[in-house]
């Protein structure tokens, strides 16, 4: 019997982490064949050539598609989606997949979904049904309305997908595949971070046994133009608390130039004497940092998702993760230096939280592969009400 062909389109480092365990499970499943297209920031040097990492992990891309139009403005995000929509159909015709598996809520997810759905290829979607800020909120739910098989990560997300009029029998609560990686890393790695960490990245070193915070702040597309002020406020709050910090550069997205400018100016003003800066941290180091940090600050989804499983204290700033289901490890604050600063102090004092399986227990990838191997869908969708 011929294997069912599952095509995954990976568009960024975060994308890859969110689907890697499912890719592995698909590749190893006797009834499935994995097809892979790598695109968007995942093929670019500037974002650390994730495609090379993917190949090192044993996956073979059918094609590498550059599709990011320079500018990182809302307009180029739309045009990049268009570029993806132009190229993916030709590649899908080459591959003739039985299912296209797409991840989350990025603009390349939209391109993948539209191309497949228009071509009458069933679409499977991970991480639908969640609630957040930015245009991702709309992309995610729109993708749900095109998708045929749903793999939500949390119970709240599952309920929302059903409310959106999707057939309950095609909505499978599997948890987030990123947690699979986290679980694996926590099993394999020693605790604590080492001095060698500072050999990569740029900026100052600080004693690794001292408490430090982790800053990961991304642009909010609907607040385009405010990024520089936002990151500066965070850096000031951390400085006020007198804590050492590890600072991550933002994702490629409309507005990331603003955040980057804020960080660069901070460094030029020489206010970074206890800060170290990283682009594209390997996930195992990142997970270890989340376990070791006194507090994760910013608006990264990892604080809420992986943070729940790891027990990381988190100060989540602003609207970007608005209404995402969260555990007790997260304190919410607005863009207000005083409130950010106070919340950091509280989290540092509280310390580590207990493990919470809100976003999965480490078996998402395997469950996804099992569903894909057996589920039959009607390519013609119909809302349930």
Residues touching a copy of itself: how many (CB under 8 A)?
74
Give dist(CA 196, CA 361) in Å, integer: 31
| Residue 343: Cβ within 10 Å count | 23
CA distances from 101 to 23, 275, 299 (A): 10, 39, 26
Contact 123, 110 (CB under 8 A): no
If binding is defined by CB under 8 A, does position 53 make contact with a copy of itself? Answer: no
Question: Which of 159, 370 has the CB closer to a copy of itself?
Answer: 159
Q: Which residue of 71, 192, 211, 357 would you call a contact of a copy of itself, by CB under 8 A? A: 71
Q: Which residue of 52, 60, 90, 194 would you call a contact of a copy of itself, by CB under 8 A? A: 90
Give dist(CA 188, CA 7) in Å, integer: 30
Question: Which of 19, 95 has the CB closer to a copy of itself?
Answer: 95
Q: Give, as ranges, the residues between 11 and 50 that touch a copy of itself (CB under 8 A).
A: 43-46
Q: Which residue of 60, 86, 155, 192 would you call a contact of a copy of itself, by CB under 8 A? A: 86
Q: Which residue of 28, 60, 62, 192 would you call a contact of a copy of itself, by CB under 8 A? A: 62
Q: Which residue of 33, 55, 73, 370 would you call a contact of a copy of itself, by CB under 8 A? A: 73
Question: Which of 138, 346 has the CB closer to a copy of itself?
Answer: 138
If binding is defined by CB under 8 A, does position 348 make contact with a copy of itself? Answer: no
Question: Which of 256, 363 has the CB closer to a copy of itself?
Answer: 256
**Minimum distance, C-beta of residue 101 to a copy of itself, in the bound complex (Å):** 17
Contact 243, 294 (CB under 8 A): yes
Q: Segment near a copy of itself (CB under 8 A), from 7-15, 87-95, 184-192, 299-307?
A: 87-95
Q: Which residue of 18, 34, 84, 293 would you call a contact of a copy of itself, by CB under 8 A? A: 84
Contact 220, 320 (CB under 8 A): yes
Select from 186, 142, 135, 138 the least CA-distant residue to 311.
186
Beta strand pairing status for 275-278 and 244-248? parallel
Select from 306, 313, 283 the least CA-distant residue to 14.
283
Task: Say whether 126 sits in a helix, a strand or coil.
Answer: strand
Q: Give, as ranges, the residues between 198 and 227 that touch a copy of itself (CB under 8 A).
A: 221-222, 224
**Minimum distance, C-beta of residue 350 to a copy of itself, in the bound complex (Å):** 29
Q: Which residue of 28, 57, 82, 211 would you call a contact of a copy of itself, by CB under 8 A? A: 82
Q: Give, as ranges, the residues between 252 and 271 that touch a copy of itself (CB under 8 A).
A: 254, 257
Question: Which of 226, 363 has the CB closer to a copy of itself?
Answer: 226
Give dist(CA 342, CA 347) in Å, integer: 9
If binding is defined by CB under 8 A, does position 371 make contact with a copy of itself? Answer: no
Give dist(CA 347, CA 338) in Å, integer: 14
CA distances from 13 to 81, 85, 216, 282, 340 (A): 17, 20, 15, 9, 28
Select from 306, 271, 304 the least CA-distant residue to 291.
306
Q: Give, as ranges, the residues between 101 and 130 that touch a copy of itself (CB under 8 A).
A: 107, 110-111, 114-115, 117-120
If binding is defined by CB under 8 A, does position 164 make contact with a copy of itself? Answer: yes
Q: Which residue of 9, 42, 65, 181 would you call a contact of a copy of itself, by CB under 8 A? A: 65
């Amino acid at each position: 019997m011929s294997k069912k062909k599952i095509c995954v389109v990976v568009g960024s480092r975060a994308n890859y982490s969110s689907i890697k365990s499912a890719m592995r499970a698909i590749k190893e499943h006797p009834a499935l064949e994995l097809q892979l297209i790598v695109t968007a920031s995942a093929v670019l040097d500037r974002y650390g050539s994730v495609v090379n990492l993917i190949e090192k992990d044993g996956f073979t891309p059918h094609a590498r598609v550059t599709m990011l139009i320079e500018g990182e403005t809302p307009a180029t995000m739309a045009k990049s989606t268009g570029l993806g929509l132009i190229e993916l159909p030709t590649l899908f015709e080459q591959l003739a997949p039985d299912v296209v598996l797409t991840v989350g809520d990025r603009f390349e997810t939209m391109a993948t979904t539209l191309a497949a759905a228009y071509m009458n290829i069933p679409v499977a979607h991970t991480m639908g049904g969640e609630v957040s800020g930015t245009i991702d909120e709309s992309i995610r739910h729109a993708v749900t309305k095109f998708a045929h098989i749903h793999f939500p990560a949390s119970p709240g997300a599952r309920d929302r997908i059903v409310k959106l009029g999707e057939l309950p029998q095609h909505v499978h609560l599997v948890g987030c595949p990123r947690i699979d990686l986290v679980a694996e890393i926590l099993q394999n790695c020693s605790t604590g971070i080492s001095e060698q960490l500072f050999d990569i990245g740029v900026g100052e070193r600080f004693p690794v046994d001292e408490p430090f915070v982790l800053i990961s702040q991304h642009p909010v597309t609907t607040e385009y133009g405010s990024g520089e002020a936002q990151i500066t406020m965070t850096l000031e709050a951390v400085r006020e608390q007198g804590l050492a910090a590890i600072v991550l550069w933002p994702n490629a997205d409309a507005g990331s130039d603003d955040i980057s400018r804020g960080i660069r100016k901070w460094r030029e003003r020489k206010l970074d004497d206890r800060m170290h800066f990283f682009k594209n941290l390997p996930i195992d180091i990142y997970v270890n940092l989340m376990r070791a940090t006194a507090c994760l600050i910013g608006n990264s989804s990892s604080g809420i998702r992986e943070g729940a499983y790891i027990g990381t204290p988190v100060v989540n700033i602003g609207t970007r993760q608005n209404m995402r289901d969260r555990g007790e490890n997260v304190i919410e604050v607005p863009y207000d230096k005083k409130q950010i600063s106070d919340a950091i102090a509280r989290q540092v004092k509280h310390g580590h939280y207990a493990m919470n399986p809100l976003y999965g227990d480490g078996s998402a990838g395997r469950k996804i592969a099992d569903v894909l191997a057996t589920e039959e869908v009607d390519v013609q969708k119909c809302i349930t009400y």
